[in-house]
């Protein structure tokens, strides 16, 4: 059993990093990051479906979880791809798109993000036995639905705000963005936490180490590439605006009414 699961994870890792490194070669040759995020979300979508096929059991819990990952990947991938096509470039890559070696590290990190985050789904879809649905499934799926709606609405609100010419040079502080500074990231964390909770219904022993999925997602968004990058960018744009300084002082960063 352990060998079979290891084999599934191994195949997923080969596919995952194979996709990232192959597309890195194309991106480095053309010095573009336009399909970076699309490649990441597309890999999630492919591995979710492929792991279900590898498992070959198609239990209800597996199909629901796979459908949730696919729905998230499809929506987020299209959103990020359309955004970069509109804006032309991603400032995260300003200092690396012309440096193939450093650019390679970015693509490799994306591969690591995919593997760690989708781990509960890979383990779940490899399960041959099934268990009746229970509290953890419904709690997990409920968290995913709330998180998906939160991220989707937050992205829509921000896109609509930026698309209005009257808002040039202004920062968004209405809708979900009035409750917390980063509602899209809160939604992301809720989704992957929910998927782990549901998958944990059938996980055993070492498989619970896949809790690294929501932990890594939270760390990534709050300490590495998410909030820190957004904060620095926002301070450059609005740091001299007293209204912005008052907004970030009074508005919780991630959790409404708390932090």
What pLDDT is stored for residue 6 in this prediction? Answer: 55
What pLDDT is stored for residue 152 in this prediction? Answer: 98
CA 39-93-115 angle, to 5 degrees, is: 35
DSSP 203-245: --GGGGGGGHHHHHHHHIIIIISSHHHHHHHHHHHHTT-HHHH
d(CA 180, CA 99): 36
What pLDDT is stored for residue 2 in this prediction? Answer: 42
User: How far from each other are the two terminal CA atoms of the chain, in whole angstroms?
Assistant: 42
- Report, as ranges of residue numbers, the positions in the chain whose pLDDT lies below 70: 1-6, 258-259
Instruction: Classify residue 241 by its DSSP letter.
Output: -
d(CA 56, CA 247): 51
The domains of the chain are located at: 1-130, 137-259
Give kind and range of the element (H or E) at residue 247.
helix 242-250
Q: Could you tell me if 117 and 81 are in contact, meaning their C-beta atoms sit under 8 angstroms apart?
A: no
Reduced to 3 states (helix: H, G, I; strand: E, B; else coil), residue 88 is coil
Q: 36-45 burial, b for 16+ CB within 10 Å, e for fewer?
A: bbbbbbbbbb
- Each residue of 84-97: pLDDT tens digit? 998 888 888 988 99
How many beta carbons lie within 10 A of that of residue 13, not counting itself?
A: 16
């Amino acid at each position: 059993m352990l060998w079979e699961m290891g084999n599934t994870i191994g195949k997923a890792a080969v596919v995952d990093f194979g996709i990232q490194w192959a597309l890195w070669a194309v991106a480095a040759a053309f010095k573009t990051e336009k399909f970076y995020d699309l490649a990441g979300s597309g890999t999630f979508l492919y591995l979710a479906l492929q792991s279900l096929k590898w498992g070959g059991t198609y239990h209800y819990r597996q199909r629901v979880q796979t459908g949730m990952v696919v729905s998230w990947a499809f929506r987020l991938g299209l959103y990020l791809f359309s955004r970069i096509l509109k804006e032309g470039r991603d400032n995260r890559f300003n200092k690396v798109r012309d440096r193939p070696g450093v650019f390679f590290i970015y693509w490799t990190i994306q591969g690591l993000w995919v593997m760690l985050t989708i781990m509960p789904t890979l383990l779940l879809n490899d399960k041959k036995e099934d268990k009746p649905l229970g509290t953890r499934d419904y709690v997990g799926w409920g968290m995913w639905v709330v998180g998906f709606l939160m991220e989707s609405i937050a992205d829509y609100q921000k896109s609509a705000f930026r698309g209005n010419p009257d808002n040039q040079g202004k920062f968004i502080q209405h809708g979900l963005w009035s409750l917390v500074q980063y509602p899209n990231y809160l939604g992301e964390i809720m989704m992957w936490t929910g998927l782990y909770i549901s998958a944990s219904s059938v996980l055993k022993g070492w498989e619970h180490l896949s809790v690294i999925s929501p932990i890594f997602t939270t760390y990534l968004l709050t300490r590495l590439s998410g909030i820190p990058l957004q904060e620095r960018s926002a301070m450059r744009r609005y740091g001299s605006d007293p209204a912005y300084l008052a907004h970030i002082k009074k508005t919780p960063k991630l959790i409404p009414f708390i932090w």
